[in-house]
Structure 1
Amino acid sequence: MKPEDLQLLLTREMPFGKYKGRLIADLPGHYLNWFAREGFPPGEIGRLLELMQEIDHNGLSYLLDPLRGDARRARP
């Protein structure tokens, strides 16, 4: 993981599927767990989904809260 990946979780939107358009950081745990069971897609999106699943699974989502304000200011 790169430190900037945490910021990407708050700015990248899910590009496909049931939750298309939702921020990666806001995806529900059951959806992230489904990817963990079935396999993460390749590339950046898969890496971010895997990171978010790990954060969510370990109950660490609150660590993103301080970054949420920064992400809102950075979004157009």
Structure 2
Amino acid sequence: MEIRPNAEQLLELAHYRMPFGKYKGRYLLDLPLPYLVWFRQKGFPKGKLGDYLNTMLTIKDNNLEPIIRKLQKEFPRDSS
């Protein structure tokens, strides 16, 4: 079985910002690991945000942040 990431979703994840709370406006990549672990323990929100938070936890657990940072740098998006 071959795993192929969805490029559009990966770019969206790289630029997705936290929409609420203490870390509102921060890239999900910049959220502290304990905060993501807390979400896992309490339950991720439903929908895209929950999926992205769960994915970001996996990325951080596997030390893959440099890949996402590279995507942010090589494929910048408007800050608006």
Q: TM-score, normalised by structure 2?
A: 0.79
**Count of residues paired in the alignment:** 75
Counting aligned pairs with the same residue, the percent is 40
1:35 maps onto 2:39 in alignment: yes
| CA RMSD, 1 decimal | 1.6
CA offsets per residue over residues 34-58 of structure 1, 9 Å max, x none? 1111110001111100100110011
Q: TM-score, normalised by structure 1?
A: 0.83
List alignment gaps of at least 5 residues for structure 2. Answer: none
Q: Rg: which structure is higher? A: 2
Q: 1:47 aligns with which of 34, 47, 51?
A: 51
| Partner Cα separation in structure 2 for residue 7 and residue 43 of structure 1 | 17
List alignment gaps of at least 5 residues for structure 1. Answer: none
**Equivalent residue, structure 1, for 2:65:** 61
Moved over 6 A (4+): none
Q: Tell me which amino acid in the other structure corresponds to 1:29.
A: L
Q: 1:75 aligns with which of 70, 75, 78?
A: 78
